[in-house]
Amino acid sequence: MIKHFVLSFLCICLLASATYAQKNRSKKIFHFEAKSVRFNGDGVGGETYFFKPAFELGFGIQYPLTSRVSFNPELTLAQKGFHGKTNYSDSTYTERNLSLNYLDVSPNFEIKLGSVSEYASGFSLWGGPYLGIGLWDNASYDIRSSNPLKPGSYSLTSTSGESFSRDIRRLDMGFKMGLGVVSQNFVSIGITYQGGFVNIATDSKSLYNQSLGFYMRVFFDDIL
């Protein structure tokens, strides 16, 4: 499935390049994103969600299809995960912090709103599906429980390890989109949302990646 998706993505990029690059000037894209990530689904039932900062860094190519529409395939290193806490009583709890790192392949499309002049500012709406392949991860658990050997006291146990191939699947698929302001077709700043469609939990519960944040994209021509 991953092989077919990647091959299809490469074919689309080559076709777009051959068809439109000669007619319209393409640009390179530098993409940076600061966001808050979490899980969604019944696998987080009863947990208190905490803010978990994450970042995304990637590159792409902007192939203009019309004066307002462009095809923007991107390859990004995306951080995802979850930070939550389950309280069993006023004094006992389990707190987990999962940091997941994916390589996302995104065949995005972008629509420009407002002026299409190279030297004017306007709005842009972009988005498309993505395929995420898990690269590495880290998980930590803090468990505070009653000490059976000493009534009235508690013990805190901390453990860490990997989640991929144990309780989190490496394959993630979903949809990502962004809405922002473009200045002179050079810098774009706005908000972005990402939602997973594939259950990444290996057990009977469901977990889906989700994020909300801010992005900056820089468009630049070839130096030579």
pLDDT value of position 8? 52
22: which residues sit within 8 A by CB, 6+ positions away? Answer: none
- Kindly state the average pLDDT of the residues 11-17: 49
Region 134-151: mean pLDDT is 90
Contacts of 155 (CB under 8 A, 6+ apart): 144, 145, 146, 147
Q: For residue 184, what pLDDT band results from cuts at 50, 70 and 90? A: confident
Q: In what helix (H) or strand (E) does residue 3 lie, and over which residues does it extend? A: helix 2-20
Which are the contacts of 122, defined by CB distance < 8 A and separation ≥ 6?
112, 113, 114, 115, 116, 181, 182
Q: What's the burial of 8, exposed, middle or buried (CB within 10 Å: 0-12/13-18/19+)? A: exposed
Which residues are CB-contacts of 58 (< 8 A; sequence separation ≥ 6)?
31, 74, 75, 76, 77, 78, 104
pLDDT > 90: what percent of the chain?
A: 65
Give pLDDT tens digits for 94-118: 999 999 999 999 999 999 988 766 6
Is pLDDT of 182 > 60?
A: yes
Higher pLDDT, 162 or 31: 31
Tell me if the pTM is above 0.75.
Answer: yes
Q: 24 pLDDT band (50/70/90 cuts)?
A: low
Average pLDDT, the chain: 87
Looking at residue 191, its amino acid is I
CA 93 to the chain's CA centroid: 29
List domains and CATH numbers for the chain.
Answer: 2-220 (2.40.160.20)
Per-residue pLDDT tens for 158-169? 999 888 978 899
Please give the pLDDT value at position 147: 83
Question: Do 24 and 18 touch, CB atoms closer than 8 A?
Answer: no
Most confident listed range (9-13, 112-116, 202-206) = 202-206
Q: pLDDT tens, 36-79?
A: 999 999 989 889 999 999 999 999 999 999 988 999 999 999 99
The tokens describing 147, both together, are 């000490």
Per-residue pLDDT, 222: 64
